[in-house]
Structure formats: structure tokens, C-alpha cells
Structure 1
Amino acid sequence: MTDSYIITGAGKGSGRYFAKTVAELGKDVALISRTAADLESLKQELQCINANIHISTHLVDLADPLETKKAFDTIQNIHGQTIKAVVSFAGAWIKSKPLDSLEISDFMEALQSNFFCTFNTIKETIRISTAALDGLAIITIGGTSSVWMNPEAPVMSVAKGAISHYSRILAKQLLAKGVHVAHFIIDGPIFNERGLGLNPAFQENQFIKPESIAREIHHVINQSQDAWTFEWDIRPFTRDTKLI
């Protein structure tokens, strides 16, 4: 059995594209999404790319810890402890409100849709991999607001910032066990349907291409143990960034 990849948020966007690159590498994959139709169409697409890999699909609300645990029990039964990497794309953009209109429920929604999905995913991956942690890669995905507290997006800044900080804690705790934790900061719009819709006036060179994101993730996953990276931010050269 080959080393398996676990990909959350696999149904659409960058998660879906990354899954295709895993299939091209000939690796088994566990796909997680909240949308059954997306999972089924992606599975068929991956089978066309490589008919020899094992593909499991899991319809899960990752914000629910019990549902997540049950799904990962199934993943363990199918893929065993041969997990090479878990890549946590799952998340949702929550539109912010003016500061004086914010409620606790706004932050809870953002945390549930982003941080708790990542937290539950990592917790269960570690649980099912306990006897074979050495060599595991944990990749979390953030954005500009992971490190720059955007005054126009306080809810997402808190949610994405939580993922960034938790990833750093994990990296420190798991380093000695041979687990590589890395946090990606996607500093710019992505060249897909959603990104184009949100930025209709942008030129192509103002976007980050999904294939470029996938390539960088594979690079970090396969880094030599003597040269691991924790924080990896990527942006188009045209970006007027707040981060550098």
C-alpha cells in the first residue's frame, strides 16, 4: 500500500486541484468534503487520471468532532497508518460586519467553519497515526489575515489567526516526533471561478494559480528533515502586500 494523503475541502477549489496532483503521483487519497456530488465527481476524475490508486470519499462536517472521529475511523480502516500528509483546505469565508455590529455568534461561525475544522482534522489524523507519526506532514492553509489583522475583516482575522497560532504550537510540540507541521499563507486571490468573480478587473498575473499552490505544498511536504519550513507564504509578484 502506498503512503496516503488526506485532503479536506477536496470538493472544490485548491483542494480539488491538489487532489489531482496527488493522483498523478500515484498516491492513495482520502477525500473529505461536505458535498456528496463534488466528492463523487472528483473520485471519477481521479480514477481517470490514475486507475491504480485507492480513493476513499468521506462526507463530513469537520466542525462536528464526533462526525469527524467516525470518518477518521473509516479512513484508518481503509488506509491504515500509512498517512504521508494531511492537507487542510476546509474553510469558509465569513463576511464581516462593522465592529459595532459584531456579535459573539459571528466569531463562533467563523471559528466553526475554519479553526475547528482544522483542529478536528489534525486531532484525528494524529490519533489514527499514533504508531507511525515519524514522517507525517501536517499542512494548514491560511490567508493574508492569518498574520495581518485586517481591520476590515475582524472575524476572519480571528479565525485564520487561530489556525496560524495553533499550527505554530503543533510544530513545536511535534517536531521531536518527526512530524512536519507547516502553515501556508495564500497572500492573494486564486485563479479560479471564485477568485475571478471577486476580482473581475484583475489581470491574470495578479492571481495565484492553483497548480502553483499545489507545487509549493508538495515541495514543503517533501522537504528534507534537516531543512523543514514552518511558515510558507506565497503571492503573485504584482501583489501590493501587507506582509513584507
Structure 2
Amino acid sequence: MILFDLDGTLVDTAHDLAYALNLQRERHGMAVLPLDVIRPYASHGSKGLLSIGFDLTPEDARFDVMREEYLALYDQVLTRKPVLFPGVAELLAALDEENMPWGVVTNKPRRFTQPLLQNIGLLERAACVVSGDDASRPKPHPDTLFLACEQAGINPHRCWYVGDAERDIQAGRAAGMKTVVALYGYLGTDDRPDEWGADVSVNAPLELLRLINGK
């Protein structure tokens, strides 16, 4: 089975994540940030977005209130224009043709994961969909990956996990899966994917087919 992270790996959600952040900045009298400034933080959830948008960390007294405000805004715009990364549609079609099950494991809360995948037409096709709040510990812990395997009835050692953040690789390795870095995702200038210990990296989704088929 092939398991995918969601934001920055399977679906390009940066436009809507950035749009919600800029709505929040405007609400607080701040200027809009360019998409290319926000984009590298899009895989890091509200924690990463609030760090670039407001220079906040979870230790700040305002963090929880600002996080709830951001999530409420994102809830209103999350289906504005999410798109599959180029090549993802063809990759998933090829996996379906080969009867290779695939699923989604994300740290995104279920309240966002389900409508997003429904909107983009993937919810019913996936063998499993596990969100960050479906288990007691999200990535980098392996709990959600184990839950996905349980739902699909497949041994973790027969799975690949594909993601664009270090925590994805940490979780996949902890679960005993083969791991793949999606270099086309939301990597920032400070990221060092070659140091994450992944089995392999890909520059485009369709490269996964050659890996899976051993070519």
C-alpha cells in the first residue's frame, strides 16, 4: 500500500492556507504576505503558519486563541481552490489500475481532511483516510500510520509512506515502512531532506511508479 501525506504531497492546499492566514493578518491590521513567503510553512499546520504570520510559538500566551481564530477562518475557505499536484491524478489512476491500494495519513484535523478530500474527489477512492486527531499521537509518532494499516488490513512492512516534511519520514521509519520524500512539496530553504534518512526521494509524483515497480 502507498500512503500519502496530504498537504504538500498529494494536494496543493497552499493557496487556501495562505488565504486564511492573510485574512487573519488583515483582521489584525497587518499587511498581506506573498504566497511564496507562506508556502514553505504550509505543511507545518497552524503552528508553522502562525509562526510566519504572527511570529508566534505554542509557548506564547496568545497562541491558542490565534490558532482557533485561524482554524475558523480556514474552515470557511478550505475548498476555494485545492488542486492535485501535477502527476498525482495519473499516479492514482495507475495505482487503481494495478489494484494497488493507497491511502492518506495527515496531521490535518478530521474536520478539514474529510471535506477537502470529498471536494477533490478522493475520499471514496482511498483505502483509508487517517487524520491527526484520529489517534492519541500524530506524526512524527507512528500511531496514525499503524491505524491506517489496521483500517486497510495491510502489514506496515508492506507499505510506502510519502511526505514532504521531516516528521513524515520519522513517522514512516518508526512504523517500519519504506519512506519517500516528495521534493516537489513545501520544502523551505532550511530543510535538509537528504539528512532525514528516507529510503528515496522523488522530484515528481509519477516517479513513484518506477520505484514501486522496481524499475
Q: Quick one: higher RCO (CA 8 Å, sep 6+), 1 or 2?
A: 2
> Which band: TM-score by shorter chain?
0.3 to 0.5
Q: As a proportion of its length, which structure holds more strand?
A: 1
